[in-house]
Homo-oligomer: A and B are copies of this chain.
Amino acid sequence: MTPISSLGEFALIDRLTAALPKQNDTTLVGVGDDCAVVCYGGKPVLLTTDMLLEGIHFDLVYTPLKHLGYKAAVVNFSDIYASGGTPRQLLVSIGLDHRISVESLDELYSGLRLACKNYGVDLIGGDTTSSLTGLSLSLTAIGEAPEGGAILRSGAKDTDLVCVSGNLGAAYLGLQLLEREKKVFNNTNLNDETAAQPDFSGYDYLLERFLKPEARQDIIVTLAQAGLRPTAMIDISDGLSSELLHLCKASHCGCRIYEERLPIDYQTARCAEEFNLNVSTCALNGGEDYELLFTLPLAEHERIAEIADVRIIGHITRPELGALLVTRGEAEEVALKAQGWQACAN
């Protein structure tokens, strides 16, 4: 028998969904993008789903349930924005084990409700069941496609500019801080009143990026207002490198991005140094950034430069040139690797 880990998530999905025949005219886009797209009554509808399992995607030791609810919703909304769309509805399924009280569930739902309120989304249904095996969440978001249809991963063209919103690596370092404090806590004598309290001072932004990420609705609105339609787009959940490779594969192209152009916050840089981590590696592979990665025609260079909180980090190339990172300093070219979050590593 072949272990799942020998294939990895994406090879596995390729295997399982190979040659699925399309049976309905209402199916526009199937497996392989941020969203599936269906079309009833002439209007495309975006669909995306995410499963979040205790011990894999979250640790209840340091994840408040309200934050978990908020984040679970937002990461689904992020997939809708990554197709250029607007999330409108949400389905939420929850598997509850005996540790979860009604009050805890109220907390989880208060986070879900807040996310729905902030992003203008209706919670329209789901499923609630017992679980023998920890807290399980599965969310499906439904969204409206932009004018001109969903923006896919597959539209990038040679010479297009590669752009990224916000900054990268912050959530990953937020997670490292929480994991460190968890270890300290586990080694603490609970009767020792002088024991150290968690010290996160100066790193609030990193914790917030991990525990309460936001989806980049603002970027979608700004791009639309500027009349800029990305040729391809994806959100950064598994790490920039991994997402760039998806985009290049789907678009049949290569890319060259520049290490010195990677957007990194001051707290991220300082915290990486404290952990003795290479900050570029954190930015490339950290994951859970929920920023948008997109491509635009080279001719739009000046207009992109005017958009706040978006940075051009490189450009698209012909496929035979590969997906490359031009390093700082000696300016070597190294191949990008997907070293980020591995959903099927266990």
Contact = CB atoms under 8 A, between A and B. Distances in A.
B134 A132 contact: yes
Nearest to A32: B125
A30 B144 contact: no
Given A40-B40, A88-B27, A4 B102 contact: yes
Interface of A: 1-7, 9, 12-13, 15-17, 20, 22-24, 26-27, 29-32, 35-36, 38-45, 47-51, 53-57, 88-89, 91, 93-98, 100-106, 109, 113, 116-117, 120-134, 136, 138, 140, 142, 144, 343-346
A30 B116 CA distance: 14
A125 B101 CA distance: 33
Contacts of A97: 346
Contacts of A39: 41
A171 B44 CA distance: 39
Contacts of A7: 102
A40 B199 CA distance: 49
Contact of A89 (B26, B98, B105, B128): B26
Contacts of A138: 49, 51, 93, 127, 136, 138
Contact of A102 (B15, B35, B345): B15
Interface centre among A2, A7, A120 (most CB of B within 10 A): A2
A133 B30 contact: no
A50 B131 contact: no
A99 to B, nearest CB: 10
B1 A36 contact: no
A140 B139 CA distance: 9
A6 B98 CA distance: 11
Contacts of A47: 89, 91, 124-125, 140, 142
A141 to B, nearest CB: 10
Given A36-B124, A128-B9, A51 B17 contact: no
Interface centre among A104, A117, A122 (most CB of B within 10 A): A122
B346 A123 contact: no
A68 to B, nearest CB: 15
Interface centre among A50, A53, A343 (most CB of B within 10 A): A53
A26 B40 CA distance: 13
Contacts of A50: 93, 127
Contacts of A93: 49-51, 138
Given A24-B89, A26-B88, A51-B136, A6 B127 contact: no
A16 B89 contact: no
Nearest to A44: B40
Given A49-B91, A93-B49, A102-B2, A27 B122 contact: yes
A53 B49 CA distance: 17
Contacts of A345: 130
